[in-house]
Structure 1
Amino acid sequence: MIVKLPKLRELSLIDCGLSNHFLHSFKPSNFNFSTSLSVLHLSLNSFTQATIFQWVSNTTSNLVELDLSSNLLEGSTSNHFGLAMNSLQHLDLSNNVFKGENLKSFINICTMCSLYMTKNNIAEDLPSILQGLSSGCLRYSLQELYLSYNQITGYIPDLSMFSSLKSLDLSSNQLSGKIPQDTRWPSQLEHLSTGSKSLEDSVPMSFESTCNLESLDLSDNKLNEDLTVVFNHLSRCCRYSLRELYLGRNEFNSALPDFSMFSKLEILDVSGNQLKDGVPKSLHNATILRILDLSSNSLSNSLSENLPTIIHHLSQYVRYSLQRLHLSHNQITGTLPNTLTMFPSLKELYLGGNKLNGTISEDLRFPTQLEALYLMSNSLKGVIKDSHFSNMSNLESLDLSDNSLVLKFSRNWAPSFQLGHIGLRSCKVGPLFPKWIQSQNKINTLDISNNGISDTLPKWFWDKFDLQDYISIDISCNNLQGMIPNMSLDNRFFYLNFGSNQFEGPIPLFLRDSGHLDLSNNKLTDFFWFLCSGGIVGTLYQLDLSNNKLSGKIPDCWTHFKSLVYLNMSQNIFSGKIPASLGSLLELQVLLLRNNNLTGEFSSSLRNCTKLVMLDMTENKLSGSIPNWIGSKLLQLQVLSLGNNSFNGSLPLQICYLKSIKLLDLSLNNLSGQIPQCIKNFSSLTQVTSLRDYEGHWYWANTSYIKTIVSYNLNAFLMWKGSKQMFKNNGLSPLKSIDLSSNQLSGEIPKEIESFWIDFIEFIKKSFDGENSFKYWKVNLT
């Protein structure tokens, strides 16, 4: 039917499941709108072949706007397309697989104003790319060029040949070196973004000539000169035009200078640097500043620059314009002043992660337009009442976590706001479950952990989340009791932490629809139906059932849980053999079965779990030999703990293939024979490692409702200074340990061990000095 519309001007087929077959089924000769069609949107489909350009140019010659973004396009583009598109002004090819060479097809489209190539596979150097683009008439017409999120290398060259260019986005590439001081910018340039994490040194003086610059984004680089110099360079010509300045996540370490020379500045972001002192006392011209982000710096903890002083300075000049104030993660002291209501337009106030102290005044009030209030991780104390939140109907996010605050709300209080984010971790909320939460119908993040709640979950609790997705709930570290009911909910939970309570009974089936499920440290007794009910569980990535009262054989039903990355069933009462279906968890990185009563030999199915980083089966009753395939199949292992079992036989030579191993515990077994000389292959133990090498363990969570990077914790138990201690995250990461003690090993200790950068080695050496007497050696090489 569409093909018969002769006057059709705009055609949008976005996210229609179209593929290359569409191009063959609908021939250009069948269309009657070849001269009328000016706008064509084909984004979010599955086109893969660049022949689509030939199809478009044969279908219509008068296109003004073409959107092919978010397909899978790659390959050579048609030169005919560039010659045929005599009217094309806007071309969007973002989120495809094009390379830099494809840009040559567009250099002679003399009408082109906007070219979007964000998120492609462009890996050439920037000077070559821009030189190619400037070789045709495109150099005179192009006004917007977006090349962010590629792999472009090189430096920023002369750009003055693009005489009409107004917007240039080069962020999130691999640019490096300094921005040349003599770089010439397009005279019409209004928006520039260059964040690449590699640009160094200083902001060039050449910005003195950018008189039309409205937005400058130099964030995510390694710039480190004095900000006073930077502001001087920018204030020469663009002081009257600059509206947005982004310098976040660089290496600036001076004080924040007066920026009031930029009379039209609306946004200033210098977060993530090492700025000192406080806010400039004089901002007499910065009267329209809307957003000020100074978070994650080293703003002063001096008495003269505490929070009341900073608020006072800002209130002198930006009290009516300021909408977002971000001061979190600094060293700001003082308490919350009673003058916050002087900012009638303030919508976001971020003060978390500072050194704020003092008692919350009963008279304290917040701006009535506030949408987000973050005060977490300070040393504030006092009583928070419902009166503190009067007339705050716009509030959407509230985080008071990790303060010494007591929340005393009226039992029947019904707030005027609807919160999406509630963070009250380690505040005093209990002993009763907070009833006011029943009035909140938009919750997607709830953290009331360690709140002193000693109660049962009310029946209305689960109703809050029945129609929402991507929900995060943390009610851990309380004294919540009773059974978790088996609900019938249509939503998906991204994060559920019910750990360290008194929940009992079976684990309900509906909790399988979670991404991260922590039920540790409770009194749960059964999870057969949770585990063995039919249907693939495609979203559960982390499952922690440790320290419960689960008993009997571990059910052999793990084939339903293909996505599991982290599984902890330690400290229960499991018995019997390790189920073979655990070997079907091909994505598994962490398997913890510590401190149970498991028997039998090492399950051979675990050889399939080749992504394992940590395997802990300490304190069981496992027997047999340590299999050879541990070294040949589980090559990514960093932590292997098999201590306090009944393993026998010799150490397999293949164990030396574990080049990434950092903690090896085979103590308290019946191992015999010699320590293999090839132990020198433990290369990770011979290297000095910094904390930066241990920034966490991550996996890619890909579900129907969220795609994100997620981290998990590594916790391990070690005998340290005569007692068993748990090391977690940063405490565990730099440690390196080998424990072979309390076995029947014989022979000499390999000399290669002397080259290990190791914190703790424990083993038994059998010496041959006339008698086969065992000598217990304990060696510290720190």
Structure 2
Amino acid sequence: MTILTISLFSFLLLIASICLSFCNGDSNVLCIESERDALLKFKNDLIDPSNSLSSWVEGGDCCDWNGVVCHNSTAHVTQLLLAPPDGRQGYGRSALGGKINPSLLELQHLNWLDLSNNNFSTIQIPKVQFLVTLGISQSSSILTSDVTLSNLPSLLELHLSDCMLQDDTSPISTVNSTNSLAVLDLSWNELSSVLMSIFGLHGLVSIDLSYNSLEGPIPDYFGNMSFLEVVDSSFNSLNSSIPNSLYSLNHLQSLTLSFNDLQGEISSAIGNLSSLIHLDLSFNELQGKVPDSLGDLCKLKEMDLSSNGIDQDISQILLILSTCCLDSLESLRMSYNQLSGHLTDQLGQFKNLAYMDLARNNISGPIPWSIGELSFLKAFDVSENQLNGTFPPNFGQLKKLKALYIGKNQLEGVVSETHFSNLTRLKTLVASENMIRFEPNSSWIPPFQCGITELSQWHLGSKFPQWLKFQNKLYALDISHAGISDVVPTWFLNLSTQFEYVNLYSNQLTGRITYLNAGNIVDLSSNRFFGPLPRLLSNRFSGPLEYLSLSRKLFSGSLYEFVCNSSMTSMKVLLIDTNFLSGGIPDCWNLGQGLKFLNLGNNNLTGKIPSSLGDKSLEMLNLRNNSMLGELPSTLQNCTNLVVLDLSKNHFSGRIPAWIGDKLSKLVVLSLRSNNFDGHIPHTICSLQSLQNLDLGQNNISGAIPKCFRHLTAMATEENQHIYYSEWLYNDANAETSISLMGASLVLKGREDLYSTTLGLVTSIDLSANSFTGEIPKEVGTLIGLLSLNLSRNLLTGNIPDNIGDLKLMESLDLSMNHLHGGIPSSFSNLNFLNHFNVSHNNLTGQIPTATQLQALITLPSWAIISAGLLSVKAAALKVFRLMLQRMERAVKEVK
């Protein structure tokens, strides 16, 4: 944060206050008795849990008391600094409470009052105007009613940050005009509206209202506060445009309105802020373009307009800023906007630029060669744009560069060692998801010590990168999809003790891994490791292991040693699917680790589900495609947070438990496909209002399809649903990596696919290959959000319900191999998205509806007739097609 200079008047006052602080200890003048008595009265009404005011005793020298500062020659109390030393929000053990005694008004020479970080949420005070202005609640026992700010004529700074202050609901009288109070800090409180009486403090130089609950528009009354140099109202809910009166403050040096809901465009009147040094309007809803008058701010050092809706060519913005800011601008942040265009060589003219963040825009073209002229550049972020071309070699000239973010672009070509030759201060290199080749000499020793290195999808060569051996401060590494086909060296496994995040996903790494000693996130999936699962060791350096993916490898053997004798006390995500694990799942999962995601699918596991897997914390349980058997244990009903339950392709038997509907109310995916379940569908299934995917296909279930399916409300809406906790986030101050977690294999359109990030957009019901009888309930037609319905290979009778044509989002419909009769309802002409349709092997008769989409699927003209019996639509289509070919052949012969 840039340190701002203040006006000469305020600066001299501040220097005087500091001098008083340093000189106090040398004074031989005792404090004034009346002021000592006032302080003791003030203390008596305070709650002091840590006895921090123990030095405040009768008869003592108040100038030696804790938090009291006196003038060196007059002995008047000038400062009262009572913020606790142990942290914010009045939760520290030394936070003061109680009420504020009006005796404070007797300190006529007080110029600095700091009560920040205390707990005055239930304070009882007199109607002292300067405190009423701050919104401190009053008690019914008002001791004084006519005291105003003029009673403290010397007060210069008032700090009441983090005192849990709330709005004053009583009428606030007009504040007397005064020029004494210069600094007012009300940050980190619970104010919900800007108190109008603040605008009567005409002498204010700095006002801080950040981290409150301010709502509504910003009042347009700043015109009378012409001395203001610092305004901070960040982290509130202000939702207006920026008022014109703020643009009139030509002494303003710092304007921070970030993290609000500000709207509209930035006015051209911003050019009036000729003294502005720091401008932060980030995380709002500002639109349009930046005005040309922004170029008139010749002192501007920092500008942050990130996370808005600014739609402009980046070259135009740089041109505007170059009018007057070439020598002053040090920080430019405009990420998460809608910027377009190319970065031009004009960038190199901003010689003092140290921080540049243009991430997540639509900027295209190459990174200009002039980047090498920014000799003061410390952080450069252009990630998640559409940049192309090569990686400029003159990046190696940026000797002060500490953080480089160029990931998720279209950069290509070869990077050599010379690109990094002078980057001795580099700490963060995030460059994943480009098309770059980097194969340095095996003896290369990097000149930097990075903490974060992310080079996913770079081509790093077939050998494991030897240069990583010298990165002794590395704690986050991503070299996934890097084309490495080597054995993981021993030295790398020894380095793992320092890792918080390591991702080697989707290489061709081989060998055995006997132990893992890393945390917090480890992804070794999609490689060619073999042998038993590694033993997990606790790591006191990098924190507990919470995410581990060993999927799609060649691990074999039992789970017992891994689960029962490893350090898994903090494991949240465990993915060991698609291996060759065998034996049963051990019954030792009750370790209190709070496991949320468990995927053991696609192995050779046998036996029953152990009772200890019934943990409330589980959100995903995937055991699909194993050889497990038995009935579902009742302990699974304890998994009340389950979102995905996939037990398909096993040998589970018995009835579908009614408790699935009673207890697992958060289920979005329920797949029991390809098992040996029998009996009827319990009606409690209809209580699953979040259910979007129900797959009971290929079992022995009988009875009627429940009419209560109409209560599956997540399928009865056209709005897209969302699955929460779908990503595991590694978040560092310098990097952020998200990993998709919540996924499921669904059988749609006759094909099985894995859905992960799009899982929340899919709705389906599959009851195929069972023994359901009776008619298709018309209630199915109320599930208007359904994309796929498969009732094939059952014993269903009756007509196709007319209202199935109301399922306008339907993409796949399979009613084949039943005993349905009658015609295809005319309402099917509404199914405009249908691309998979099968009603073969039924007893259907009549005409095919004239829907364009339906005709395109079955390639039949509108006059085609579906014959009685078991003639399928597909067979009828083939018959007509052959007839048309015969006619064409005859026509060709006649022409010849």
Q: TM-score normalised to the size of structure 1?
A: 0.80
Which residue of structure 1 lines up, in the alignment, with residue 504 of structure 2? Answer: 475
Which residue of structure 2 lines up, in the alignment, with residue 762 of structure 1? Answer: 790
Residues 450 and 474, structure 2, Cα contact 8 Å, conserved in 1: yes
Q: Which amino acid aligns with 1:131?
A: M
Which secondary structure does the structure 2 equivalent of 1:729 belong to? coil
Q: CA deviation at 1:335?
A: 4.4
Report Cα offsets for 1:267-312 as digits up to 9, x if no partner.
xxxxxxxxxxxx53993533222233454555556xxx4x5xx1x2
What is the Cα-based RMSD across aligned positions, in Å? 4.2
**Structure 1 residues 421 and 239, CA, compared in 2 at 3 Å: closer, same or farther?**
same
Residues 220 and 244, structure 2, Cα contact 8 Å, conserved in 1: no
Tell me how far apart the structure 1 counterparts of residues 457 and 737 of structure 2 sit (CA, whole Å). 27
Which secondary structure does the structure 2 equivalent of 1:605 belong to? helix
Residues 730 and 738, structure 2, Cα contact 8 Å, conserved in 1: no
Q: Which amino acid aligns with 2:790?
A: E
Which residue of structure 2 lines up, in the alignment, with residue 286 of structure 1? Answer: 325
Which residue of structure 1 lines up, in the alignment, with residue 492 of structure 2? Answer: 461
Deviates more, 1:281-290 or 1:735-744: 281-290
Which residue of structure 1 lines up, in the alignment, with residue 604 of structure 2? Answer: 573
Which secondary structure does the structure 1 equivalent of 2:613 belong to? helix
Confirm or deny that 1:624 pairs with 2:651.
no
Confirm or deny that 1:610 pairs with 2:640.
yes
Which residue of structure 1 lines up, in the alignment, with residue 256 of structure 2? Answer: 193
Which residue of structure 1 lines up, in the alignment, with residue 866 of structure 2? Answer: none
Tell me how far apart the structure 2 counterparts of residues 698 and 226 of structure 1 sit (CA, whole Å). 35
Which residue of structure 2 lines up, in the alignment, with residue 314 of structure 1? Answer: 347
Report Cα offsets for 1:178-225 as digits up to 9, x if no partner.
445567866654322223453222335665654544333222222223
Which residue of structure 2 lines up, in the alignment, with residue 75 of structure 1? Answer: 122
Q: CA deviation at 1:743?
A: 1.6
Confirm or deny that 1:537 pairs with 2:538.
no
Which residue of structure 2 lines up, in the alignment, with residue 149 of structure 1? Answer: 211
Which secondary structure does the structure 1 equivalent of 2:708 belong to? helix
Residues 28 and 55, structure 1, Cα contact 8 Å, conserved in 2: no
Superposition pairs for residues 181-220 of structure 1, below 5 Å? 181=244, 188-204=251-267, 207=270, 210-220=273-283
Confirm or deny that 1:169 pairs with 2:252.
no
Residues 240 and 261, structure 2, Cα contact 8 Å, conserved in 1: yes
Confirm or deny that 1:91 pairs with 2:175.
no
Q: CA deviation at 1:526?
A: 3.9
1:590 pairs, out of 620, 624, 635, with 620
**Structure 1 residues 516 and 391, CA, compared in 2 at 3 Å: closer, same or farther?**
same
Which residue of structure 2 lines up, in the alignment, with residue 717 of structure 1? Answer: 745
Residues 493 and 515, structure 1, Cα contact 8 Å, conserved in 2: yes
Residues 20 and 49, structure 1, Cα contact 8 Å, conserved in 2: no
Confirm or deny that 1:501 pairs with 2:527.
yes
Superposition pairs for residues 357-756 of structure 1, below 5 Å? 357-358=388-389, 365-466=396-497, 468=498, 471-486=500-515, 493-503=519-529, 504-510=531-537, 513-524=544-555, 525-533=557-565, 537-538=569-570, 540-584=571-615, 586-690=616-720, 694=722, 697=725, 712-730=740-758, 732-755=759-782, 756=784
Q: Which amino acid aligns with 2:212?
A: N
Deviates more, 1:446-455 or 1:320-329: 320-329
Residues 355 and 377, structure 2, Cα contact 8 Å, conserved in 1: yes
Q: CA deviation at 1:241?
A: 4.6
Tell me how far apart the structure 1 counterparts of residues 566 and 355 of structure 2 sit (CA, whole Å). 49
Residues 438 and 458, structure 2, Cα contact 8 Å, conserved in 1: yes
Report Cα offsets for 1:529-579 as digits up to 9, x if no partner.
3422487713x2222111122222212222224332222111122221212
Residues 536 and 567, structure 2, Cα contact 8 Å, conserved in 1: no
Q: CA deviation at 1:433?
A: 1.2
Which residue of structure 2 lines up, in the alignment, with residue 268 of structure 1? Answer: none
Tell me how far apart the structure 1 counterparts of residues 111 and 537 of structure 2 sit (CA, whole Å). 51
Deviates more, 1:363-372 or 1:676-685: 363-372
Which residue of structure 1 lines up, in the alignment, with residue 196 of structure 2? Answer: 131
Report Cα offsets for 1:146-174 as digits up to 9, x if no partner.
33333321111133355654323222322
Tell me how far apart the structure 2 counterparts of residues 248 and 681 of structure 1 sit (CA, whole Å). 44
Confirm or deny that 1:774 pairs with 2:818.
yes
Q: CA deviation at 1:87?
A: 5.9
**Structure 1 residues 431 and 58, CA, compared in 2 at 3 Å: closer, same or farther?**
farther
Q: Which amino acid aligns with 2:522?
A: L
Q: Which amino acid aligns with 2:97?
A: I
Q: CA deviation at 1:436?
A: 0.8
Q: CA deviation at 1:144?
A: 3.3
Which sections of structure 2, spanning at least 5 residues, go unmatched? Answer: 1-23, 28-45, 69-80, 132-146, 800-816, 835-896
Calculate percent identity across the aligned residue pairs. 29
**Structure 1 residues 774 and 714, CA, compared in 2 at 3 Å: closer, same or farther?**
same
Residues 653 and 678, structure 2, Cα contact 8 Å, conserved in 1: yes
Q: Which amino acid aligns with 1:750?
A: P
Report Cα offsets for 1:63-102 as digits up to 9, x if no partner.
9464653x777433645995999868352533x7543349
| Paired positions, count | 714
Q: CA deviation at 1:759?
A: 0.9
Tell me how far apart the structure 2 counterparts of residues 744 and 719 of structure 1 sit (CA, whole Å). 19
Q: Which amino acid aligns with 1:722?
A: G
**Structure 1 residues 595 and 333, CA, compared in 2 at 3 Å: closer, same or farther?**
same
Residues 74 and 97, structure 1, Cα contact 8 Å, conserved in 2: yes
Which secondary structure does the structure 2 equivalent of 1:199 belong to? coil
Higher Cα Rg, which structure: 2
**Structure 1 residues 749 and 33, CA, compared in 2 at 3 Å: closer, same or farther?**
farther
Deviates more, 1:357-366 or 1:37-46: 357-366
Q: Which amino acid aligns with 1:286?
A: C
Deviates more, 1:591-600 or 1:511-520: 511-520
Residues 798 and 819, structure 2, Cα contact 8 Å, conserved in 1: no
Tell me how far apart the structure 2 counterparts of residues 563 and 41 of structure 1 sit (CA, whole Å). 39
Tell me how far apart the structure 2 counterparts of residues 741 and 8 of structure 1 sit (CA, whole Å). 91
**Structure 1 residues 475 and 561, CA, compared in 2 at 3 Å: closer, same or farther?**
farther
**Structure 1 residues 543 and 432, CA, compared in 2 at 3 Å: closer, same or farther?**
same
Which secondary structure does the structure 2 equivalent of 1:35 belong to? helix
Which sections of structure 1, spanning at least 5 residues, go unmatched? Answer: 1-5, 10-18, 260-278
Superposition pairs for residues 249-268 of structure 1, below 5 Å? 249-255=307-313
**Structure 1 residues 511 and 551, CA, compared in 2 at 3 Å: closer, same or farther?**
farther
Q: CA deviation at 1:356?
A: 4.0
**Structure 1 residues 746 and 394, CA, compared in 2 at 3 Å: closer, same or farther?**
same
**Structure 1 residues 159 and 454, CA, compared in 2 at 3 Å: closer, same or farther?**
same
Tell me how far apart the structure 2 counterparts of residues 383 and 704 of structure 1 sit (CA, whole Å). 29
**Structure 1 residues 344 and 104, CA, compared in 2 at 3 Å: closer, same or farther?**
farther
Which residue of structure 2 lines up, in the alignment, with residue 265 of structure 1? Answer: none
Deviates more, 1:201-210 or 1:419-428: 201-210
Which secondary structure does the structure 1 equivalent of 2:532 belong to? strand
Q: Which amino acid aligns with 1:252?
A: I
Which secondary structure does the structure 2 equivalent of 1:631 belong to? helix
Q: Which amino acid aligns with 1:442?
A: K
**Structure 1 residues 726 and 57, CA, compared in 2 at 3 Å: closer, same or farther?**
farther
Which secondary structure does the structure 1 equivalent of 2:520 belong to? strand
Tell me how far apart the structure 1 counterparts of residues 321 and 244 of structure 2 sit (CA, whole Å). 30
